[in-house]
Structure 1
């Protein structure tokens, strides 16, 4: 995996209250690291007048009050932050690795997929069959193995409340890529594990969608009532920079987790980690193995 970290951002204005910083046109680990690192530094600056900072896959959106911070002053500040991140000789991010149980090839997404085959590239078969074929794999089973054996970086959270976009930490030639539906669905089960382009996602709530459907996560990622312990601090579980390790479960394990969710006792397995961009790019397979070991014994 070879990616240049010497990225030059493009700055544009959105009306009177938004500054958009495009790190790169294409998603990469380096571009996403820059966006998140800049967001973290700006957050710690506690600048009077900045009201919101939203890092995305390869960009950054900043909302501000022009009566409190003049636009040119804000741009100068953000450019200094960009230069500070670019000068980092060792790029690391303090984050966490989380195990997400998934029932792959489940009946809920299968049934939904069967209702929307007219809007699909491959009317026969399933989304998993199509994904395997698109990636030159022999079977849906092989695709599922490739999907869960390496961890994913949460590159941004959005679209609907709490939905994470995830980018697999593997060499570029091993990225799983699958096009979206030709025509979007009007229905997607909540907690569907989907995929569009090079991004995985988990649909936090039921609704429309166009990503291919591979399975269903066993526990909530969005809890407005904050019933579960993992949501004590916020109703949205994922944060940009989180590392996700999908864990396949069968129906019995899925039902068991659902019961734990219902009685309010479910907790995600997670552990603090320091994500090292250089090591991840130099030898992703070895680095992924070491990162996943943090979950042992949790």
Structure 2
């Protein structure tokens, strides 16, 4: 059997919009796709490498990006002209970038998110099912474990970080026919445990802190994605661990391993299992399953 490949799609012409005097917003596509997100990451990485005078902040998103700049250093029209040049020169078939593959242990069906989701059944599409039961059913899986195996069966790429500081939005690296899709709650919850692993639309998210939320709740990770005090060694350079372009491998664990990891996190001795790799969109499109297998192999 030949390997299933992902066929790249042709993107429309980018849409450039000005925000007040010091922002430029660029929309690459109205819908999320690997092509749009890879293009956003490739372009924003080149903007960083060029160190364009006057550009203060660069924020890549799922299918767009936003720049904050100083109009006293670079004129808005000149900046847009340079962005158009970068876009014209970017060819994903010839582009790759350095990123990290990160192990993210997850205790699926944990007691904390279960208690929370049961308190908010009236906010849900199916008050008689758990979030995992509902998600498994509407995606055609016979059992919850089959659904968990699918969610943890292929890595997820961080496509953007936002909503609250440190929250990664992750798109699973599988062909469209195997993408999990689940709606958000009908009404958001007023509570979500920190480090909860949730899913909404086609995205997995890790809630960095306790707070409101509307994503379906699947489990909880013992590791942090946000360390404001930067006490853990892997947060030395930034209080936020995941970056756009990082690849997260969600690994199912049991309660014993969860508690052991959490103890190391709380005493400050935990070190994340992660490795740097060169990511090639062209190789991923050609053989996503084989490429994912090679990416995960570097961890274990």
TM-score (norm 2): 0.96
Aligned pairs (5 A) from 1:176-191: 176-191=180-195
The equivalent residue for 2:247 is: 243
Tell me the distance in 2 between the aligned counterparts of 1:41 and 1:226: 28
Tell me the distance in 2 between the aligned counterparts of 1:225 and 1:178: 34
Shift of 1:91: 2.5
SS of equivalent to 2:223: coil
The equivalent residue for 2:262 is: 258
Aligned pairs (5 A) from 1:20-169: 20-85=25-90, 87-169=91-173
Whether the aligned pair in 2 keeps the contact of 1:7 and 1:31 (CA below 8 Å) is no
Tell me the distance in 2 between the aligned counterparts of 1:126 and 1:77: 50
4+ residue runs over 4 A deviation: none
Tell me the distance in 1 between the aligned counterparts of 2:238 and 2:197: 22
Among residues 215, 224, 227, which one is paired with 1:223 in the alignment?
227
Shift of 1:48: 1.8
Whether the aligned pair in 1 keeps the contact of 2:28 and 2:64 (CA below 8 Å) is yes
1:267 and 2:271 correspond = yes
Tell me the distance in 2 between the aligned counterparts of 1:15 and 1:54: 17
Tell me the distance in 2 between the aligned counterparts of 1:187 and 1:89: 43
In the superposition, relative to structure 1, how do residues 53 and 30 fare at CA in structure 2: closer, same or farther (>3 Å)? same
SS of equivalent to 1:287: helix
SS of equivalent to 1:76: helix
Q: Deviation per CA, 1:5-24, whole angstroms, max 9, x where unpaired?
A: 55521111111111100011
* Structure 1, 280-289 or 99-108: larger mean CA deviation: 280-289
TM-score (norm 1): 0.97
Whether the aligned pair in 2 keeps the contact of 1:35 and 1:60 (CA below 8 Å) is yes
Tell me the distance in 2 between the aligned counterparts of 1:279 and 1:83: 21
SS of equivalent to 1:150: coil
Tell me the distance in 2 between the aligned counterparts of 1:89 and 1:148: 28
In the superposition, relative to structure 1, how do residues 70 and 184 fare at CA in structure 2: closer, same or farther (>3 Å)? same
Tell me the distance in 1 between the aligned counterparts of 2:213 and 2:103: 24
Tell me the distance in 1 between the aligned counterparts of 2:216 and 2:287: 29
> For the aligned residues, what is the CA RMSD?
1.0
Q: Deviation per CA, 1:179-230, whole angstroms, max 9, x where unpaired?
A: 0000000000001100000000100111100000000011111001111011
Structure 1 unaligned residues grouped into runs of 5+: none
The equivalent residue for 1:280 is: 284
